[in-house]
């Protein structure tokens, strides 16, 4: 029995346990109440008439990188309909807040043969697009069986993923054969994919380089304008567990020489707010010295830290700041997209483990827009305002002169859709 057949059998046998799994995740606030049926492939929405593209994006990062692609697809073909599937609550919030005509969100079906059939039988997409390294055997197999053209775009294969996949060469080669085309981020990913047996691979660059300025509702945030005009904002964005303590602790030290400095912490997963509150208290800040955005409290001069535990408002704080610490690279999370804060004219700081955005950080550092932090003491450069303003200017120029990937991919996909429809 092949590995794929064993996998199919296992996912079939454990299907009664999916509800328990859903409840456990619901209790941890990782699932949305009333959406279990979507995880089984059933829809909460009506299927629109006309051409339909299905985009599958796993989590926040993939959802964000899909946005410039969606914009371009709609620009090239305004009447086209798109259903996007993601697996997290935060990624759904990001998509829904865009309010794009003809765009519908649904939670991705779990990788069970029956659930995948439910999803595909309802939506019947004309084209299926998977982002980065989303390889779900049952979902891919059922899509292929229905003769729906499959595309893997913005494909990126890390060294660890490559090593894992090489342990099952025949299975991976079989699954990759389902893709009509694969569009890789870089030549290195292309070479790895070719070694895994993939064919028809193109290199168009990274979709995340086409990021646009993050949108936000100014009316909900206007009350903070006057307060932040008098502060030097430092934003710690997309932070992960294990990273915040050192950042907050160093911020406390910086306050001695930079009393006007103000820290905004925007964790990658806002539902970690309770953990963040504990960390802030552990570093010596009192409850009078920090607020949570979710509490909608007014700010006063005692406040030193603003915990941004919301979605869709980070752009406002990028606009108000001149320096941003990007998380994900102090731990082993691969880093996060520096283009988003750079577009708002910010000096960028991050840790050394930025392997998911190696080219972007290397180029940004080369032009003087970013600094790689190996020791938190390196943040004392914040005392040099002239240096920070120079870095911010360089990052802005860099961010405005990179991109074009979304347009190239969209033209390719629309061409495929027209051939198939």
- Could you report the per-residue pLDDT of 259-290, keeping only the tens digit for each? 999 999 999 999 999 999 999 999 999 999 99
Q: In the predicted model, is pLDDT for residue 421 greater than 70?
A: no
Architecture, CATH, for domain 3-205: 3-Layer(aba) Sandwich (3.40)
User: Which residue has tokens 């938190």?
Assistant: 376
- Written as six digits, the tokens of 74 are 């709609």
Indicate the pLDDT class of residue 192, thresholds 50, 70 and 90: very high
Please check whether residue 201 is in contact with residue 193, taking contact to mean a CB–CB distance below 8 angstroms: yes
Q: In the predicted model, is pLDDT for residue 26 greater than 90?
A: yes
Strand order in the sheet with 232-239: 290-292, 305-307, 261-267, 232-239, 323-326, 347-350, 370-372
Strand order in the sheet with 150-155: 103-107, 81-86, 52-56, 127-131, 150-155, 179-184, 201-203
Do you know the residue count of the chain?
A: 421
Q: Determine the average pLDDT of the residues in 142-148.
A: 97
Which residues of the chain are in CATH 3.40.50.2000 domains? Answer: 218-400
Q: How far apart are CA 55 and CA 83, in angstroms?
A: 6
Q: Determine the average pLDDT of the residues in 321-343.
A: 95
**What are the respective helix, strand and coil percentages of the chain, to the nearest 5?**
50, 15, 35
Q: Quote the crossing angle between the two packed helices 169-176 and 3-13, to the nearest 10°.
A: 80
Could you please state the CATH topology (level 3) that the domain comprising 218-400 is classified under: Rossmann fold (3.40.50)
Question: What pLDDT does 70 receive?
Answer: 95
Neighbour tally for 147: CB within 10 Å: 7
Q: Determine the average pLDDT of the residues in 70-85.
A: 94
Question: What pLDDT does 420 receive?
Answer: 63
Q: What backbone phi and psi angles, to 5 degrees, belong to 127?
A: -155, 135
Question: What pLDDT does 279 receive?
Answer: 98
Q: In the predicted model, is pLDDT for residue 402 greater than 90?
A: no
Q: In the predicted model, is pLDDT for residue 13 greater than 70?
A: yes
- Written as six digits, the tokens of 252 are 């406390």
Indicate the pLDDT class of residue 297, thresholds 50, 70 and 90: confident
Mean pLDDT of the chain: 94
Which residues of the chain are in CATH 3.40.50.11720 domains? Answer: 3-205
Percent of the chain with pLDDT over 90: 83
Q: What backbone phi and psi angles, to 5 degrees, belong to 365?
A: -70, -40
Q: In the predicted model, is pLDDT for residue 8 greater than 80?
A: yes
Please check whether residue 95 is in contact with residue 63, taking contact to mean a CB–CB distance below 8 angstroms: yes
Percent of the chain with pLDDT over 70: 99
Q: Where are the alpha helices (DSSP H) in 243-357?
A: 244-257, 273-282, 314-320, 339-342
Indicate the pLDDT class of residue 400, thresholds 50, 70 and 90: confident
Q: Is the pTM of this model over 0.85?
A: no
Closest to 140 in 3D by CA, of 4, 14, 320, 233 = 4
CA max distance for the chain: 68
């Amino acid at each position: 029995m092949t590995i794929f057949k064993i996998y199919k059998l296992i996912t079939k046998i454990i299907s009664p346990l999916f509800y328990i799994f859903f409840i456990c995740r619901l209790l941890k606030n990782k699932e949305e109440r009333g959406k279990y049926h979507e995880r089984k492939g059933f829809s909460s929405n009506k299927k629109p008439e006309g051409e339909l593209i299905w985009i599958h994006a796993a989590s926040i990062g993939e959802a964000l990188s899909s946005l410039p692609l969606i914009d371009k697809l709609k620009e090239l073909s305004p009447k086209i309909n798109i259903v996007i599937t993601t697996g997290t609550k935060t990624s759904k919030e990001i998509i829904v807040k865009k309010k794009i005509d003809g765009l519908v969100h649904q939670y991705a079906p779990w990788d069970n043969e029956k659930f995948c059939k439910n999803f595909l039988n309802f939506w019947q997409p004309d084209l299926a697009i998977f982002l980065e390294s989303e390889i779900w055997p049952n979902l891919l197999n059922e899509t292929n069986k229905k003769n729906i053209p499959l595309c893997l775009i913005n494909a990126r294969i890390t060294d660890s993923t490559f090593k894992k996949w090489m342990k099952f060469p025949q299975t991976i080669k079989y699954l990759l054969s389902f893709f009509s085309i694969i569009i890789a981020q870089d030549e290195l990913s292309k070479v790895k994919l070719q070694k895994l047996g993939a064919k028809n691979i193109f290199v168009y660059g990274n979709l995340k380089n086409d990021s646009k300025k993050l949108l936000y509702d100014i009316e909900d945030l206007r009350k903070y304008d006057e307060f932040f005009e008098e502060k030097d904002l430092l934003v710690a964005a997309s932070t992960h567990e294990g990273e915040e303590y050192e950042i907050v602790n160093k911020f406390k030290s910086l306050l001695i020489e930079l009393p006007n400095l103000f820290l905004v912490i925007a964790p990658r997963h806002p539902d970690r707010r309770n953990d963040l509150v504990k960390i802030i208290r552990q570093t010596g800040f009192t409850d009078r010295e920090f607020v949570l955005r979710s509490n909608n409290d007014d700010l006063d001069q005692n406040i030193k830290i603003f915990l941004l535990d919301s979605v869709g408002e980070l752009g406002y704080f990028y606009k108000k700041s001149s320096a941003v610490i990007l998380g994900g690279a102090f731990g082993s999370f691969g880093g996060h997209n520096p283009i988003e804060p750079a577009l708002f004219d910010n000096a960028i700081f991050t840790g050394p483990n930025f392997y998911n955005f190696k080219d972007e950080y290397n180029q940004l550092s080369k032009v003087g827009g970013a600094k790689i932090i190996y020791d938190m003491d390196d943040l004392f450069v914040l005392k040099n305002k002239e240096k920070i303003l120079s870095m911010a200017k360089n990052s802005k120029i860099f961010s405005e002169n990179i991109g074009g990937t979304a347009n190239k991919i969209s033209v390719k996909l629309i061409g495929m859709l027209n051939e198939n429809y």
